[in-house]
Structure 1
């Protein structure tokens, strides 16, 4: 039998329960959820019912501090609303008992808060922290990363990511309808894509230019007298310090799309593309031309549960569990530095829309408070 690693989940709304299901499918590797915390009673009950269906006895707490003080957990998953991440992470990091952490994206809603979390975590070498930027693990994306890192497209010059999808889902108390709670659409949703751009470019961002607006979604909604202010479409250009540039094309009223995500990486030698959810990768070289383009069906046989993100959350947990078991000899694949930069690009993009100009990463990372 594998050594049991005891998990607690802080925030058991839709994503928290998704984590619970993923961990159930990792039970043979030693994962066991022993506690959950959430102030929202219906979410508590839904998580409890789910755990019971798995024959997992779990202790339920109304707050994260009670869960931490219980001493029940080795690892905590933070899947609460974005604006609560900072306080919860600081409480976890400062707690006398060390808890390893998987925090959902975005790391925090502001760069200043991300930096404080990074600084605090440096003082706790007994804690591993992974950020939930799980799109890296989607089989077609992972295959494209493999192709690019093997040098098959040559030095990367351009990365283009298109996400054409449905509007934001309904969440508890509609917290995700407002920039103050989410960090803005380009932080909340698109930190995934900025993380991928940086990974493909193999470089750090220098400046960002964006254009976006709230044109279609949520305009007829009112919560506590306020109309939502989250944008539903944008174009974002990111320039990197090695000369590579990335472009995001986001539309959240495009349900009539065959693929939700289309990722293109072009280098001096060739081009690779990934399509989700078709799970197809295409790769071709300039010399072979159109007739030489290969189509690959991407899959990962390790995945035992596809879930909401095409198996990527399962692989994310598998990776993090391995890091925990090796006691940090294998570092978390997506660390706090990755989380900070992905948020910073999103913040710069939101600022660029507001100020209608390029925004440098220096002004966002060094001067944002």
Structure 2
């Protein structure tokens, strides 16, 4: 316990610029450990830069180089790196192959647009390097299944970037529901996300389903991953209703009209009888996430908000109500503020901790490639249900895509 506390202090103090006046020989609590691993970032846009920032913040690895065909992304990433590691060189690769196969590098972080993942993975696995593939792992069930098959025989770490399971509210939710079993047997799961519209991307690829997989794959695979994890079972049926009500109704890019939805209700039935629902709204004036789980012995509600209001209230809240049976409680799960500010409420930081832990052979609960596959399956089935207006049976949609599981 003392050793862990010392290490935590060391990480916090070593980032504090007020101690920069100290020579290295006089640093103890504020000493900086030398990184053991080198990573390349493939795709250096917004999320790629978040991975760069968090890699250097976590400290056990460094960023060796980047590859991105967009010059502006490269320029911005170089500027960021110069502020984060001013005395370190950054390699800018001219090709994907060069970035994947540099012998100096231990791991690859793939942060490119969704539709490019399948071809990049095919090249990346030739390197036998550790891989962190951003969500969603693919835009279609067929491509996700192909990546899943590739990963089955891949001996290095192959981790999917479904990092919402590491947010403070979900870490505590998983602990209470699955480990502590505070709710008894789970019967229903309900998740809500209300947020602002999709942000701008290079060539606006996230406004078109053929590039993103559709809103319920691109954005909501995080929540379907959480549903699947909490249900501890395979989905068997999906029904969804959704539309384009407000966002991008007039948006065109290169003469092509946007086709993504901005709101939806999704119902998922699992093979063990658990029923789950998802409520999405992407024209909300704030960010709000909520999960409600009911079991035969209690109810859990957890939420996270960023509402831009001047009045103060807790950003995160979790409540467990268990009536007269056992104690109930209300809490505010959170990480240190500097970690929460690093990206996705601190979830990306812990994703990196676990990525390196996986490399070092430690046991973690990071999202496997198979779990990434099932998160795409639910999202793609929901998109299909909206298009057809019919309930979708998972076995049928898998057969239609030539998938046997």
Q: TM-score range by the shorter chain?
A: over 0.9
1:299 CA displacement: 2.1
Q: Distance in 2 between matches of 1:8 and 1:244?
A: 41
The residue matched to 1:24 in structure 2 has which SS?
A: helix
Q: Distance in 1 between matches of 2:151 and 2:174?
A: 28
1:306 CA displacement: 2.7
Q: Distance in 2 between matches of 1:72 and 1:11?
A: 19
1:144 CA displacement: 1.0
Q: Larger C-alpha radius of gyration, 1 or 2?
A: 2
Q: Distance in 2 between matches of 1:200 and 1:320?
A: 22
Q: Is the 8 A contact 2:357 2:364 kept in 1?
A: no
1:269 matched to 2:294? The reply is no
Q: Is the 8 A contact 2:121 2:147 kept in 1?
A: yes
Q: Is the 8 A contact 1:206 1:239 kept in 2?
A: yes
Q: Distance in 2 between matches of 1:212 and 1:70?
A: 45
Q: Is the 8 A contact 2:35 2:62 kept in 1?
A: no
Q: Distance in 2 between matches of 1:197 and 1:182?
A: 21
- Which residue of 1 is the match for residue 171 of structure 2? 142
Q: Distance in 1 between matches of 2:36 and 2:340?
A: 20
Structure with the larger RCO, 1 or 2 (CA within 8 Å, 6+ apart): 1
Q: Is the 8 A contact 1:200 1:265 kept in 2?
A: no
1:189 matched to 2:224? The reply is no
Identify the match of residue 77 of structure 1 among 109, 113, 121. Answer: 109
- Which residue of 2 is the match for residue 225 of structure 1? 255
Gaps in structure 1 of 5+ consecutive residues: none
Q: Distance in 1 between matches of 2:123 and 2:340?
A: 31
Gaps in structure 2 of 5+ consecutive residues: 1-32, 306-314
1:49 CA displacement: 1.1
Q: After the TM superposition, which of the residue ranges 231-240 and 353-362 deviates more from structure 2?
A: 353-362
- 1:232-276 deviations in whole A, cap 9, x for unaligned? 000000000110011000000011x4x510111110110111111
Q: Is the 8 A contact 1:130 1:336 kept in 2?
A: yes
1:21 matched to 2:21? The reply is no
The residue matched to 1:366 in structure 2 has which SS?
A: helix
1:308 CA displacement: 3.0
Q: After the TM superposition, which of the residue ranges 220-229 and 114-123 deviates more from structure 2?
A: 114-123
1:2 CA displacement: 5.2
Q: Distance in 1 between matches of 2:336 and 2:193?
A: 26
Which residues of 2 match residues 121-136 of structure 1 at below 5 A? 121-125=151-155, 127-136=156-165
- Which residue of 2 is the match for residue 325 of structure 1? 360
Aligned residue pairs: how many?
358
- 1:107-158 deviations in whole A, cap 9, x for unaligned? 1011111111111222222x21111111100001111111101111011111
Task: Name the Cα RMSD after superposition.
Answer: 1.7
The residue matched to 1:260 in structure 2 has which SS?
A: strand
Identify the match of residue 287 of structure 1 among 312, 318, 324. Answer: 324
1:43 matched to 2:73? The reply is yes
Q: Distance in 1 between matches of 2:41 and 2:339?
A: 20
Q: Distance in 2 between matches of 1:240 and 1:304?
A: 35
Q: Is the 8 A contact 1:205 1:238 kept in 2?
A: yes
TM-score (norm 2): 0.85
